[in-house]
Structure 1
């Protein structure tokens, strides 16, 4: 059943100066099952923060503990300087927007947005409601009923109804999951615009990597009740610290290799195939020395692909592998290749469709090459498939 937490009356909200959220030793268990391992987390005031992970990772449970909809097994929840751990939802300076918008079907949009103010006994609501409808660009639809709006418009009404109560923190639990792809992408930009304009803390739960990276200033990648990695989207993407993050956030080629030496600031790697690869030592998640096993990671879009007949055109100093195309998929903006190489049986390569080479088809012998600086290193003791569909199956 969908619930909507309501912002507290003015005096309680005023006790929480600032909208930072601080979780200390927070955990949640049900019997023998641990949904959230004890974790510490600080969500900066005024930020757009995303909890990202697959179903069952603990992200929604964490959000619900912030909202007061789940009682922590251990730990504390602070919102600003207010200890909210024992407070019921309606006394916390937060509002929650769920995937099912829970709009009142018998009320028009104006009255849906005004509901929270009227519930608190505020008589004069016109100015605040109009300002909020202007923020979400729905003022011209104020007298329509929810069923007369699109899914994206209904979502914006739900956000306006939550924000009009002036919460310190807005919690969003998979708010775009019911929308189609094109509308979801549009709403990602809308939510980011709204958050920037109002300047309050947004905490967003999602399983959609692109959604998190589009909107969030900071992402916490969750796995099995723990935070696997925390950071800015670009940093998580470029410098994953685990195979789970490398595979879950986008797509990675992970190549099993052995450190065979060093050259300047690079580690030299040997594998099953001929030649060697280079990888910056500074981009290894764990220190590695000669003889250590590592997983060399490279994102598919950072690899260039040429037909074997053009191998001489590959610039010196590039990492290079030979292989054979086993699959090619045209998806408009790019062609996605799967290449079988002695180093790795299924290397993914994304090539922009600028000047397509008709020779690059299944069965063709090719050379893959990339800048060594784009290679990152992970501990080979990890599950190479963690974070992929194969690992979850």
Structure 2
């Protein structure tokens, strides 16, 4: 049986447990070999994961990858087929949802429309028989900066304000873990970006563990300390946003988290810390430390913003990787940068037929479609992947979609 063991303190999905850095374990959230099946369909496949107390953690993946099912098992809304769930040293696998020190904020917020904001936030306290709710409710509303709207109804608030009310209502119950299930999905782009910053501020102030499920790469990278990229019910890679972006372990992660130019080649030499490869007669090099393979078929990857264009070889810095024979097929001016597509003289069997290049607009010439160009970049910005992988994995957000709604 395949097992995806992940540690929020490492850059891959195969490290030792994060608890090693936190001997007491605190209130770390720990999943041990969790599997969830719906009939013949496996939504979550033998996943082990430790999320340190007080961290902002994101489960990122396309529809059907198992991220929401994982969240629902943590909350108690789904029972695992196999495996165990712990909060600190306490096993909560078989506890009913209301008995777990966990609260969830959903995409639709689930606010009570007939109650004002004060009473929505006070609801959990009143259910527990607490009489004097005013100090705690006011504290929570101040935390989410909505104290001045305490007597308004949800319908009188914007989507972002309603989302903050939902967070306050969840936090007032003092959970050990707050689960966020696509909480920004209903907001427009500008408001979503504002709320990303706001949620991170709230998490930092209260110091609770936030586990955030999203399909939005930018959202995960903006807020999370650690991201687990999920694919087909397993953790493909786990690490900090920067580590996942700069050092993807698979074509799926390279394509799903941002954009990548992927080129198939054959390793021709490994000399100390440098790997040399041949791609259709073009010589490229990359650091051995950034490659998952050092012989045979290899996929060399480079992010679009690392690549530059030139029409004169004399202007290319010494030692750069260079690809010749490119022709600009599209140039899009978007303000801070110009985004190019460059047609390459090879077929799709060698990799991307069109290379993506993002150049910052700093007064340089804009290359028009039809211009013959050289592509070049610092070899240290290249990463290497196993050449047997699917070049297109992760490039289509619907690749992993499932008919099983609970597995979203």
TM-score calculated relative to the size of structure 2? 0.89
Q: Classify 1:179/1:390 alpha carbon distance in 2 versus 1 (closer, same or farther; 3 Å).
A: closer
Aligned to 2:349: none
Q: Give the aligned length.
A: 370
**Equivalents in 2 of 1:195, 1:249: separation in Å?**
24
DSSP 3-state at the match of 1:157: helix
Aligned to 1:20: 28
Aligned pairs (5 A) from 1:34-183: 34-183=42-191
* Greater relative CO (CA pairs within 8 A, separation 6+): 2
**Is the 2:63–2:398 Cα contact (8 Å) retained in structure 1?**
no
**Equivalents in 1 of 2:203, 2:164: separation in Å?**
12
**Equivalents in 1 of 2:381, 2:398: separation in Å?**
25
**Is the 2:323–2:374 Cα contact (8 Å) retained in structure 1?**
yes
Question: Cα deviation per residue 1:7-43 (whole Å; 9 max; x = unaligned)?
Answer: xxxxxxxxxx943110001110011111110111111
**Is the 2:44–2:232 Cα contact (8 Å) retained in structure 1?**
yes
**Equivalents in 1 of 2:177, 2:203: separation in Å?**
11
Q: Classify 1:390/1:120 alpha carbon distance in 2 versus 1 (closer, same or farther; 3 Å).
A: closer
Question: Cα deviation per residue 1:138-162 (whole Å; 9 max; x = unaligned)?
Answer: 0111111111110000000000000
Aligned to 1:288: 294
For residue 392 of structure 1, report the CA deviation from its aligned partner: 2.4
Aligned to 1:279: 286
**Equivalents in 2 of 1:205, 1:97: separation in Å?**
11
For residue 262 of structure 1, report the CA deviation from its aligned partner: 3.1
Unaligned 5+ residue runs, structure 2?
Answer: 1-24, 347-351, 401-408
**Equivalents in 2 of 1:295, 1:121: separation in Å?**
61
For residue 119 of structure 1, report the CA deviation from its aligned partner: 0.7
For residue 390 of structure 1, report the CA deviation from its aligned partner: 8.4
For residue 243 of structure 1, report the CA deviation from its aligned partner: 0.5
**Is the 2:62–2:399 Cα contact (8 Å) retained in structure 1?**
no
Aligned-residue RMSD, C-alpha: 1.4
Runs in 1 of length 4+ with deviation above 6 angstroms?
Answer: none
335-344 vs 231-240, greater mean Cα deviation: 335-344
**Is the 1:272–1:342 Cα contact (8 Å) retained in structure 2?**
no
1:196 partnered with 2:241? no
Question: Cα deviation per residue 1:308-362 (whole Å; 9 max; x = unaligned)?
Answer: 2x3211111011112110111122221111111236521000111221414x011
**Equivalents in 2 of 1:40, 1:229: separation in Å?**
12
**Is the 1:325–1:364 Cα contact (8 Å) retained in structure 2?**
yes
**Is the 1:18–1:168 Cα contact (8 Å) retained in structure 2?**
no
For residue 368 of structure 1, report the CA deviation from its aligned partner: 1.1
For residue 272 of structure 1, report the CA deviation from its aligned partner: 1.0
**Is the 1:50–1:218 Cα contact (8 Å) retained in structure 2?**
yes
Aligned to 2:385: 378
TM-score calculated relative to the size of structure 1? 0.92
**Is the 1:244–1:386 Cα contact (8 Å) retained in structure 2?**
yes
**Is the 2:256–2:394 Cα contact (8 Å) retained in structure 1?**
yes
2:345 to 342, 345, 353: 342
Unaligned 5+ residue runs, structure 1?
Answer: 1-16
